[in-house]
Structure 1
Amino acid sequence: MQAEQNTSPAGSLVGEEYEVEVGPVAHGGHCVARTAEGQVLFVRHALPGERVVARVTEGEEGARFLRADAVEILDASKDRIEAPCPFAGPGRCGGCDWQHAKPGAQRRLKGEVVAEQLKRLAGLTPEEAGWDGTVMPAEGDKLPAGEVPAWRTRVQYAVDADGNAGLRRHRSHEVEPIDHCMIAAPGVSELGVEKHDWAGMESVEAIAASGSQDRQVILTPRPGARLPLVELDRPVSVMRVGEKDGGVHRVHGRPFVRERADGRTYRVGSGGFWQVHPKAADTLVTAVMQGLLPRKGDMALDLYCGVGLFAGALADRVGDTGAVLGIESGKRAVEDARHNLAGFDRVRIEQGKVEAVLPRTGISEVDLVVLDPPRAGAGRKTVEHLASLGARRIAYVACDPAALARDLGYFRSGGYRVRMLRVFDLFPMTHHVECVAILEPAAKGS
């Protein structure tokens, strides 16, 4: 997002430093401060209540706001710790936003962001959303300050001009070479991607399935480059992204990994979506099913269904007299979903964008809906259509609290209220958070 400018002559303020009092946390992994002249600063590597020296990293005179890093801490918060990762900090790796905060403080900050977005974009207090303000850690992630959960089962490394694997710096194409990522899951670290020469590659994605011993590496070559001859530290399937069509092509090994959730095995093709935290899929399925309470014979929709995670859970619970329709835009994900759910006679998966396919189905009423849209959310048109179907309950799974709040506002206009909201810290050390909102017709709760 580019800073808005006025019409007066403007000059870059990058490198300028300001001594500021740090205000509240904001969505995106930073806190809000103001210069003595009143200009807004979005400051990374700071915590609310601190006094810091903030160095501008992006912005110009007359801009609506500036971006900055806290480069010196003058008065530290009690929630501050030394960042455990040697690659974290101003100007370094952009993957983790809150390495400098205690784990409990990270979750509290995320909760404050969710609450602020709900109030600002949906007009809802936490109480009105059926949420007590708690952000729950995933199983096994509640560790003492200074200890980092190794949770990320999929890591996309960028490659610099010298062939070194690393991670992007914040809001930059520059690569921070690393020798180890602390939040990478053990299965990713075991591949030893950081030790090898990846000359000619644009990126290297390492995948360690949490539901099996499957390991996969996806290589994206620079134009005209050959694939490197690399012996990784354990057997692994290797894919490459085609230069012409952008497709993923097998070099050797399976073109998929196997994941487990809710007692079922799911095939996930190369580059396909699966939750990154090893406990995320089960955590979310449990929250969704507890919220929906499916019954035998229910008709259910699973929108943005991916490889069929929620569709499979629904199919198990609605039984042979029920039915599930999944809609997904990705061709490979649809193939995987159909394979994964082939044992259910009354499950159908349609390919296409939800806003285009759903009206064509002719469905005029359903019992239950699950939607897990991309980061931008479902949008007004889709929400209005869903509200017209009269579902008994709707489960909305969201990785972006702003998009969730906007869509909850649309649901409210369509006659639905939030019965319950649960918030999970499935991305420790980052600003990201996962939410599950359960909605029901407002008339039922009045």
Structure 2
Amino acid sequence: MTLLELDRVEVTVGAPAHGGHCVARHEGMVLFVRHALPGERVIAEVTEVHRGYVRADAVEIIEASPDRVPAPCPWSGPNACGGCDLQHASTSAQLEWKASVVRELLARFAQVDQAVRVEQLPSTVGADGQPDAGWRTRVRYTVDAEGRPGLRKHRSHEVVPIERCMIAYPGIRSLPVLNRTWSADAVETVAPSTEPAFVVTDPARPIVEHAAGHEFTLSAGGFWQVHPYAAQTLADAVIEQLAPKAGETVWDLYGGAGLFAAAVADHVGVTGQVALVESAPDGVAAARQNLAKLPVRIVESTVERALVPPRGRAGRSSARLRGPVDLVVLDPPRTGAGKQVVTAIAASGARAVSYVACDPAALARDVATFQGLGWHLAQLRAFDCFPFTHHVECVALLLPARS
């Protein structure tokens, strides 16, 4: 049977897959169905047709899972805001969804049978002192053709005007953004840990964040973890896995504003050496300011160039970072580190690598590469840094065979 856009079919959905959907099948066709839960019988409406599979939304629930709950946001659901794809799942079901996806990806790409438990972060507290669902300290509202701010539909440029974003930090929700029209294409908001939330009119405006016992100055448009407890949680996990000792040498790759470099520098002390590698100019500038009083060397370079540069005329490598090194913090972008970087790290002499991953599929592929080079996955921790969405943050400990 050939399915077309807007066709509706009745299916029983299976396990969740990476990307916020469950897998179903109908007459030989694979469907990736959003807004469903494993085991449910639903009416799925096709939203996209591709060769060999279609994307669809569950627009009617025939047999509901016991884990299904009413979505707390009125703008969540099929053909609505695409930001939160798990609002229809109970909290325990959201955590198990993410854990099962991480387990499946590690099994598929790295042939690793890994137990995974997704840990919750502390709840945000509202102005009334009660727990609040608003964890997102940076929100970008898109403006439609009529000047109304909102959020985009899933895999679309279409804007859904909203009156309130449930996951926006309480201070951001109180800003006069959604109750007026705008002439700009988008409205950026931020809620730093050291000052009230504000609308970003100048992305270069400095803000200050606190984590790991340090103060970090960065631009309002620069990268920082969006959950208010994520930076501290991830830094603690890295330090616990690596257990850095005084005098050790550490590489912080894709180091950004310096969160992990600062944390490990406190442990290796003045007798140790820390090198942070970052290519983004705003990240480099922030790291130089934030780490000026710590024994950290800033290397402005891509990680690939810092570790594996072209060979010179004499055939000798001129890598900006040379081993041996004791420890590596690896925090790559969503695409992962890749074979070239992993191979260089595996040959560096490091006794341990702590890999911070925002994409479990990229992590699984890189774990497979490490394994092919004689390393193994010794520990994996997963954190719910993005409640109500399918996203999950992982911190993986990789050790060489000699360990």
TM-score range relative to shorter protein: over 0.9
- Decide which of 54, 74, 95 is 2:44's aligned counterpart: 54
Residue 3 of structure 1: aligned partner = none
**2:212 maps to amino acid:** D
- Decide which of 96, 121, 125 is 2:109's aligned counterpart: 121
Name the CA distance, whole Å, in 1 between partners of 2:84 and 2:168.
12
**1:431 maps to amino acid:** H
- Decide which of 139, 143, 146 is 2:122's aligned counterpart: 139
Residue 4 of structure 2: aligned partner = 13
**1:179 maps to amino acid:** E
Residue 171 of structure 2: aligned partner = 187
Residue 312 of structure 2: aligned partner = none
- Decide which of 178, 187, 192 is 1:204's aligned counterpart: 187
Matched, 1:67 2:55: yes
Q: Is the 8 A contact 2:175 2:198 kept in 1?
A: no
- Superposed, 1:102-251 pairs within 5 Å as 102-126=90-114, 132-140=115-123, 149-199=133-183, 201-209=184-192, 211-218=193-200, 238-239=201-202, 248=203
Identity among equivalent positions (%) equals 52
Q: CA deviation at 1:133?
A: 2.1
- Superposed, 1:269-288 pairs within 5 Å as 269-288=219-238
Residue 229 of structure 1: aligned partner = none
- Superposed, 1:44-443 pairs within 5 Å as 44-59=34-49, 63-126=51-114, 132-140=115-123, 149-199=133-183, 201-209=184-192, 211-218=193-200, 238-239=201-202, 248=203, 255-344=205-294, 346-359=295-308, 360-443=319-402
Name the CA distance, whole Å, in 2 between partners of 1:24 and 1:104.
16
Q: Is the 8 A contact 1:215 1:257 kept in 2?
A: no
Name the CA distance, whole Å, in 1 between partners of 2:377 and 2:198.
40
**1:358 maps to amino acid:** L
Name the CA distance, whole Å, in 1 between partners of 2:273 and 2:174.
42
Q: 1:377 to 1:281 in 2, by over 3 A?
A: same
**2:239 maps to amino acid:** M
Q: CA deviation at 1:177?
A: 0.4
**1:17 maps to amino acid:** R
SS of residue paired to 1:383? helix
Q: CA deviation at 1:148?
A: 6.4
Q: Is the 8 A contact 2:306 2:321 kept in 1?
A: no
Q: CA deviation at 1:363?
A: 0.8
Q: CA deviation at 1:44?
A: 0.4
Q: CA deviation at 1:141?
A: 6.9
Aligned length: 388
Q: Is the 8 A contact 1:301 1:325 kept in 2?
A: yes
Q: Is the 8 A contact 1:216 1:257 kept in 2?
A: no
SS of residue paired to 2:304? helix
SS of residue paired to 1:193? coil
Extract unaligned runs of 5+ from structure 2: 126-130, 309-318
Q: CA deviation at 1:257?
A: 1.1
SS of residue paired to 1:59? strand
**2:338 maps to amino acid:** G
Q: Is the 8 A contact 2:99 2:116 kept in 1?
A: yes
SS of residue paired to 1:277? coil
Q: CA deviation at 1:264?
A: 0.8
Q: 1:256 to 1:215 in 2, by over 3 A?
A: farther
Name the CA distance, whole Å, in 1 between partners of 2:66 and 2:401.
42
SS of residue paired to 1:23? coil
1:395-441 per-residue CA deviation (whole Å, 9 max, x = no partner) reads 00001000000000111112211111000011000000000001111
Q: Is the 8 A contact 2:13 2:41 kept in 1?
A: yes
- Superposed, 1:22-61 pairs within 5 Å as 22-35=13-26, 37-59=27-49
1:67-110 per-residue CA deviation (whole Å, 9 max, x = no partner) reads 00000000000000110000001000000010000011000010
**2:289 maps to amino acid:** H
SS of residue paired to 2:15? strand
Q: 1:315 to 1:50 in 2, by over 3 A?
A: same
Name the CA distance, whole Å, in 2 between partners of 1:362 and 1:162.
52
Name the CA distance, whole Å, in 2 between partners of 1:11 and 1:48.
24
Name the CA distance, whole Å, in 2 between partners of 1:19 and 1:423.
34
Residue 231 of structure 1: aligned partner = none
Name the CA distance, whole Å, in 1 between partners of 2:107 and 2:132.
32
Residue 313 of structure 2: aligned partner = none
Q: CA deviation at 1:176?
A: 0.4
Q: Alignment RMSD, CA only?
A: 1.6
**1:94 maps to amino acid:** G
Q: 1:148 to 1:187 in 2, by over 3 A?
A: closer
Name the CA distance, whole Å, in 2 between partners of 1:214 and 1:371.
32
Q: Is the 8 A contact 2:190 2:220 kept in 1?
A: no
Q: Is the 8 A contact 1:256 1:270 kept in 2?
A: yes
Q: CA deviation at 1:364?
A: 2.0
Q: Is the 8 A contact 1:214 1:257 kept in 2?
A: no
Larger mean Cα displacement after TM superposition, 15-24 or 265-274: 265-274
